[in-house]
A and B are shown apart, each in its own frame.
Chain A
Amino acid sequence: MPARSATSDGAPGRPPSGPSGGRDVTPLRQTADGGDFVGTYVIGLLLNLVTLGIYHFWLKTDIRRYLWSRVEADDDPFEYTGTGGELFKGFLVAVFLVLLPVSLLYQLVLAQLLIVAPAAGSIAAGVLVLFNLWLVGVAYFSVRRFRLTRTRWRGIRANQTGSRAAYGLRFLLAWIANLATLGLTLPAMRVMLTRYELSRMEIGDRGVTFGPPRSPLYPTYLLCWVLLLPTLGLSWFWFQARWYRHLAERVRFGPLGFDYRATGGQLARLAIGNLLILSFTFGLLAPFTWARTLRVAIDNLTVTGRLEPEWLGQNRGAVPTMGEGLFDALDLG
């Protein structure tokens, strides 16, 4: 096995191609401060007010450009290359081609039906609810695809393949299952959905793999589920911590593995702290909450293994030309 070249000051050198060593780590760093963006954010909010909300597509874009650039992998930052115009176009398409017809359909036809033939009307209303849930799933998947295709690292773009219609269906089924079982199927459903997303995700010309579990999820979940009411919802954070760790364990990208070690307590403190900051500043200091979140996310995430740069080529997949309009139009943030 070729010898590793280590520099004399002890810094790890790069081994030539071969299996990743157990101690090899790709440095992942965040440099978010929040303070350097508050000014831009507040101006953005004002412009948003003045333009009756139209500006917010550009504000979102600026926020993402800021956040993406504050995360560095192997000393190179990520980049967000989307534009506000793309989001705006997507919004217009979603509103005029989907939301408006559906809304009119509901107001004119369904309302009539409910009066004239209540039984048929109720069935139709039920179908419409299911359709809306499916749309939410479709929108969510479109959002993922858009954001991934607008993310670059060293110029290499990510992507999300797979069918958003199929994802929407899985999303709908997950919702029905969770509702019917009062949430007991939630971990399994999450795994189902995440597997669909991640196993079809590409970074460059390589795929992400979603592997088998290393430790069970359900024991923690059941405990948190039972303790949900007694702890006034706080046990949820412990499940979330377990969930992210479970996810990290199962995701691999080439030679890279992931390890996420944030605790439920950290997540709870993060959420509560952010809530307090937002409430007491009317949302104006939101950039600080993003910085805090980024810190918890990135500082607790370790990327094991190292990439050979030549191994990662450019993504050649199809790229959506418009933004996640449906998501926006449905007011899902």
Chain B
Amino acid sequence: MPSTSDERATRSTLDERATRAFPVTFFDGRTAVRHAATLRVAGDRLRLTTPVGVPLAEWPLADVTASAEGRQGLRLARADDDGARIVVTDALARTVILAALPARAHPRRLSLTLGPVAAIVGGLAVALALAYLLAPPVARAVARAVPAAWVEPIGRQMVDSIAPPDRRCDGTAGSEALADLARRLAAGSDIPPLTVHIADLDVVNAFALPGGHVIVTRALIDGAASAEAVAGVLAHEIGHVAERHPSAAMARRLLGHVVLQLLGGGVVAEGTTLLAELSYSRDDEREADAVAVALLNRAGIDGAGLAAFMRALAGREAETGPGAIPGFLSTHPDSGERARAIARDATGTGPALSDAAWAAIRGACRGRQGEAS
């Protein structure tokens, strides 16, 4: 056959190498004895014999893995590792054996190559996207499943931590009137029992807490332009309770905490869970707004009051910047947009409270200092 003398020379060298015997060290995996042995690459297997030719072992090349840590040369082992090792220090032997082994069996610095890593990153992306989408419905299901009796004490504790009993204006004519208003708003729907508190605090704020607890601050009542505005805020908080937002938010935060632990709690992970929570909160707020409008409409109360309240807050947002804004707004969607949505959907036209009731509510915290308790 036509071939140059060079090709012939190369082929014969390769053939020579293929059947050449290399000195190696063999550990049989049964004792710590070091055996001097001879290794040959024979077709699809490694053939190991003693220096005089007594067969020691035969390893199919497909089963062999190689590692090259440290300065000891090449160490060969079998896939179903029983402890047997072939240590190859001869440089030529190394080349021949590595050439005979598939690439996946070659020594690697990184035990996980870029392929699997990319798969992990992809898998993570999918898992996180799923977690983001599934968290709200799962949390809501959990919130509905947990019995109210379990949740109520937690809510009460939270109320106490926001406004301890001596800073609350409960048990007054004003708080009674407010509770009455809440009952009117919630009438006819399957909203769980509500407990409305007035907190003698200087910050304009309102809270919905687990177990049907709602807090409205004195500053909010003082700052409201009308009874209808307060009714609107109350309806909004009742909306949160109706949709089980407080409990669901707690469940979500729990889930988020667990996920954070799994991911090792790095800054990036924390930031991401925070952003997710904020976006969930904004969804909750929009839902509460919708329920608020529905409740106001059903009670026949004029929704313009609430819309005006939102616009006033939007105005404060614009001129003072985020620092001065009441806490709950930072997780709220844009107040101007909310005002427009409310004004658009509100149909009621009636008053929220009688003048007497409204006066009582405004004065709920004033007479408090005089009351002995």
Interface residues of A (CB under 8 A from B): 31, 40, 43-44, 47, 50-56, 58, 61-62, 65-66, 68-70, 72, 76-77, 79, 81, 83-84, 95, 99-100, 103, 107-108, 111-112, 115-116, 152-157, 204, 307, 309-314, 331
Contacts and interface: CB of A to CB of B under 8 A. Distances in A.
Interface string B105-122: 000011110000100110
B70 A51 contact: no
Nearest to A47: B117
* 4 nearest CB pairs, A to B: A69-B69, A155-B83, A69-B70, A312-B32
Contact of A309 (B32, B72, B75): B32
Given A40-B109, A72-B70, A84-B112, 9 more contacts: A50-B121, A51-B120, A55-B112, A66-B69, A76-B34, A77-B72, A155-B29, A309-B32, A314-B31
Contacts of B120: 51, 54-55
A58 B263 CA distance: 15
Nearest to B272: A52
Given A155-B27, A314-B29, A52 B109 contact: no
A58 B269 contact: no
Contacts of A312: 31-32
Contacts of A95: 261-262
B70 A157 contact: no
A309 B262 CA distance: 46
A100 B31 contact: no
B2 interface: no
B157 interface: yes
Interface string B58-97: 0000000001011110010100011111000000000000
Interface in B130-151: 150
Contacts of A54: 120, 124
B33 interface: yes
B153 A116 contact: yes
A69 B109 CA distance: 13
B233 to A, nearest CB: 28
16 contacts: A47-B110, A56-B264, A58-B110, A62-B109, A62-B110, A69-B70, A77-B72, A99-B261, A111-B154, A116-B153, A155-B84, A310-B31, A313-B30, A313-B31, A314-B29, A314-B82
B359 interface: no
A302 to B, nearest CB: 20
A100 B72 contact: no
Contacts of B77: 155
A43 B124 CA distance: 19
B269 A307 contact: no
Contacts of A84: 111-112
A83 B75 CA distance: 17
